Amino acid sequence: MPSPAEPDPRPLTGEPLAVDLLNTRWIDAAGRHDLLDSLEGTALWLNTPPVREALGGISVPAGHDTRERLHQARAALDEAVADPAHPSPAAVTAVNDVLAHGRLRQVLRPDGPGTVAEVDAPAWLPAWAATADFLRLLADRPDRIRACGNPQCVLHFYDVSKNGTRRWCSMSGCGNRAKAQRHYARRHQV
Ligand SMILES: [Zn+2]
């Protein structure tokens, strides 16, 4: 099992939990990668700061069950992210199937009101939390949940820029490539 200090190999991190789950897959010069292909990769993802924070310090075993449920949640988010503001009936069903495995219970704490996530089994917690996070983004700015503008790229992002004009997973990656391609096209125009 990797230590928490093991570096995250993904090109894009720091997105909200729902988008971060989608971004467990990426394509680079070496080909396609999927962090959830292995239990080691799953453990690594569960140990990343945004996931740990979302799980509220609860440690979830990175076993087959957890990984399987994460695959299910990611597939549901795949359907939903195709058109976040107008999800297909299949997307609605897939997302609700995951959400049905958990709920938020309201509690009063010494420092004020709070909520506690309750899931059918610990293995559901990361998948349920990521799917619930998608609803939070939908309620906030559904138009800001986007796929990278590079059709060869499978990454997604939540655009928090002021003008909402972000198009690329990263300016240094896909953004730069697009700029170079535009430049090449201009130079080779007849
Ligand atoms: Zn990209």
Number of H helices, E strands in the chain: 7, 6
Q: Is residue 8 part of a domain?
A: no
3-state secondary structure of 123: helix
Number of structural domains found in the chain:
1
Q: Is residue 9 part of a domain?
A: no
Q: Is residue 11 part of a domain?
A: no
Backbone angles phi, psi at 158, to 5 degrees: -110, 110
pTM, full prediction: 0.91
CB 157 within 8 A of CB 15: yes
Q: Is residue 171 part of a domain?
A: yes
pLDDT digits (tens, 9 = 90+) for 143-152: 999 999 999 9
For residues 144 and 181, which has the higher predicted lDDT (pLDDT)? 144
CA of 152 to the centre of ligand 1 (A): 8
Check residue 5 and give its pLDDT.
58
Q: Is residue 84 part of a domain?
A: yes
10 Å CB burial of residue 157 (0-12, 13-18, 19+) is buried
pLDDT for 166 beyond 80: yes
Q: Is residue 116 part of a domain?
A: yes
CA of 116 to the centre of ligand 1 (A): 35
Q: Is residue 179 part of a domain?
A: yes
CATH number of domain containing 127: 1.10.3300.10
Nearest one of 16, 21, 103 to 70, comparing CA atoms: 21
CA of 173 to the centre of ligand 1 (A): 7
- Partners of 117 in beta bridges: 104
CA of 154 to the centre of ligand 1 (A): 7
CB 117 within 8 A of CB 104: yes
Q: Is residue 129 part of a domain?
A: yes
pLDDT digits (tens, 9 = 90+) for 16-59: 999 999 999 999 999 999 999 999 999 999 999 889 988 887 88
pLDDT for 182 beyond 60: yes
* Alpha carbon distance 107, 90 (integer Å): 34
pLDDT digits (tens, 9 = 90+) for 90-133: 999 999 999 999 999 999 999 999 999 999 999 999 999 999 99
* Alpha carbon distance 130, 128 (integer Å): 6
CB 35 within 8 A of CB 24: yes
Structure tokens at 162: 């002021």
- Partners of 69 in beta bridges: none
CA of 59 to the centre of ligand 1 (A): 31
Domain with 97 in it:
17-187
